[in-house]
Structures are given as structure tokens and as C-alpha cells.
Amino acid sequence: MNKNLATLLVLWLGSGAWWGMESPVPRVSARNKVAGKLLCEAFRAANALRNSVNVSQNLKNEIKLAVYGAPDRVQFDEGGNFRHSSLFRYGTQYPREKVCEYYGNNRGRGQVDGIFAESLFGAFVCVCAPPITNRYETLCGVRHWERRRAWSGNFNWGGRHHSLLQDVWDEVISKCKAGVNNHESHLTRLGNLAKALTAIRNELRWHRASGGDVHILGDTRDIRGCSGKAGKEVCAAYKYEAWKRGVPWIQSLWHVLHQLYAEYEKAVGPRITVTVPQPSPQTSGTHGNPGTSWTSQESQPYQPHQPREVLVDEQGHTIVLDDDTFPEDLPNSTEAGWEAEENETSNPVQGPIPNPTSDLDPTSPEAAEGIVAHLTAAAHEGGASITPACAWRLFTATVALLG
């Protein structure tokens, strides 16, 4: 018995779990590493959509505001430079939790509460800027402490802290731009951002801070919230709301996704088509009974094989139509928008399709059905056949992986 107690005591002391010591480093830094990775994926996916020719300039501007912040609040440029507005007074001491804890839109005009957490970039800084202590060798997977710059309890907008923000950009955020696939389809880019935002929502955890109940991204085990004072409250916090709707930049990006999905639904033709070559009209004739001669019609000028679209059903069987009733090809658009115009023919998916632009939680069954419809349409666009049941299994498997 005494031997067992001695063993437990050694383990207890070795873990640092005694009066006056912090908990082990990996437990804290691992949370921020996960959060940093998820923010990186969202940052990459959002910027990929901004570079898409299938996104209007207005929606590109909305994405930019959600990612980099608004000019009248706090904005970061695409080089990682910090551009604070007249809301801040130079040299004023602003606690870290004041700008990293967002409690909703009921703040008075001119206040700076949660001003960093309002944007994806600012949340990145709150989660990945090193705290006052340098005993964490890594934060968000990067060695910050070697430069001896840290975000302590207060932020005074001086040159040192501007350099700190630049460090976070150079060592963490800017690397998220690497690896963007410029050959991805538009639907793939929409899906990448939707998955990234869903994963971040799943990572949010409930916490009771001094300002009220919040959802935490990062790590904190102190009632003070995201103060960074003890090297363990390194996070972005958002007002606790149902469906985790308290993150403003996530809500803004979901709003953009809803619009883009709606535009995609209008642009994608509902037909299931395959392209097959027509027989060459160079020669034609009739075959008689065996032993009779073959008679050729008058020769025609040679024409190259022309592709033709034919309808197929969900099992891949050809649907024969007369030439007079054959639907016309969809015209291609040269404008920045969509590659196909709206087609008014009926949708092959039976039954009403839920409106994907409705203000639903993206992980709810109703929103899921809308995504299933888009998965089905995407498969049809490529000439393949997929049933709604199969699309539903694909979607639920994706959600299970994200969970």
C-alpha cells in the first residue's frame, strides 16, 4: 500500500500538479495547436474562394472583411500589417482579454471589446500570439519564444507589439496561404470552407468567464478568460449562443456560402447528360437480302464527328428523344460569375429540395438535405449517376469524420 502511495506521489509531483506549479505544457499547447490548424484551414479556404472567378466582387469583399477585419474597427492587411482605427489611443493599455473576448453586438459605439476576435485574422492572433511567459517552447506548432516577444496582460500598440503581430503573421498565418490548389472546382472550394467552419464550431468549448458564459477557441482554465497572464489563458472567446452562433466572422462566411450555394443551384443544369460522337455522314446506304447488291446513296461532303448530348436516367440508360424536342446546349458565360446560365428544366431529384440558403445551422438535418442536393447535382454535372441516398451517406460520413 505504501509503495503504491509513493508511486502516485512521484507521478503527481512529476506532472507538476502540486501547489504553486502549472499543469503540464502539452495539455495547454495542444489545444492551441489544434485551434491554429483549424484556423489555418479556414484561412486557406476563404482566400481560395476570394481568388475564384465564380465569386462576384461584392462577395469577395464580404469574405475579406470577415477574414481581415473592417476598416472602422481593426483591420489587418494581406501582408500581416496591423492597421488600427481611431478607436484606439496610442499608448493606452488594453488588456488582452478585452480585445480577444467578444460578447456580441450590444457594445456601445467606439468600444474595443472583442475587436480582435471579430475577424478570422484577429482570432488567429488571440490564439497563437505567445503569452507573457516563455516556458512554452511552441505555440500553434511554432517556436515563438526565441524572439523574446510576448503578449502580456496589456497591449499598448507600441513598436514591440507591432513586431509581435508581424511575427505571428510570418511564422504562422502566412504559411497558411501555401498549398492552395488553383485547379480545384468551384464546388470543391465551397465544400472546403464549409468543412473548415464546421470543424471550428465543433472545437468551440463552453467556459464560464468573468464576463459571462462563452465559447472558447484555444485554451483557458482560469475565470479571467483569455488574459494570457499566466501563460495558459491563450484563446479567443465568444458569447455563448445556441448553435454556437456567437462567432461573427464565422456567421459572415456562412452567409457568403449560402449565397454561393444558391447561385450554384441556379447555374447548374438539372439534366443528366453524356457526350457521344455521331456517326459520320460521309456515306450512308441500305443493305439488301443476302446475295443482293449494296446500293450507295449520293456521296456527301465529309464532316468531322460532332459531339451530341443525350439524356440518361439514374441507372445510366439512354433516354431517346426526337431531334425537335432535344434540349439545347447550355451557353458558356465569359463574365466573372458562372460558367452556365440558368436552365428552367425540371430537376431529376424527386420531391422538394430544402432551401440551402435558409438560416439553419449547417450541421442540422435540414441544411444537410440541401447539401445532399448539391452533391447530387455536382455528380450529375460530370455525367455520373448518384442517388440521393448515396449522397446522403457521403454527407453523413463527412460529418462523422469532422465530429
Which tens digit of pLDDT belongs to each residue from 116-136? 999 999 999 899 888 766 555
- List, in sequence order, every residue forming a beta bridge with 167; answer none if it has no partner: none
Residue among 59, 158, 165, 160 nearest 116 (CA): 165
Q: Residue 319 to residues 87, 270, 346, 379: CA-CA distances in angstroms?
A: 65, 15, 15, 18
- List, in sequence order, every residue forming a beta bridge with 236; answer none if it has no partner: 217
Q: Residue 386 to residues 183, 190, 372, 380, 381: CA-CA distances in angstroms?
A: 24, 20, 11, 7, 11
Cβ–Cβ < 8 Å for 232, 97 = no
pLDDT at position 84: 67
Residue 187 corresponds to which cell in the numbers above? 464546388
- pLDDT of residue 96 exceeding 60, the answer is yes
Please tell me the pTM assigned to this model: 0.61
Residue 27, Cβ neighbours under 10 Å: how many? 13
Q: What is the arithmetic mean of pLDDT over 73-100?
A: 77
**Residue 356 pLDDT grade (very low, low, confident, very high; cuts 50, 70, 90):** very low
pLDDT at position 266: 84
- Range scoring the smallest mean pLDDT among 39-43, 211-215, 249-253: 211-215
The one-letter amino acid code at 325 reads: T
Q: What is the pLDDT of residues 262-303, one digit of tens each?
A: 988 888 766 454 555 555 555 444 444 444 444 434 444 434
Cβ–Cβ < 8 Å for 125, 165 = yes
Q: pLDDT above 70 covers what percent of the chain?
A: 48
12 φ, ψ (degrees, to nearest 5):
-65, -50
Q: Are strands 101-102 and 154-155 parallel, antiparallel or unpaired?
A: unpaired
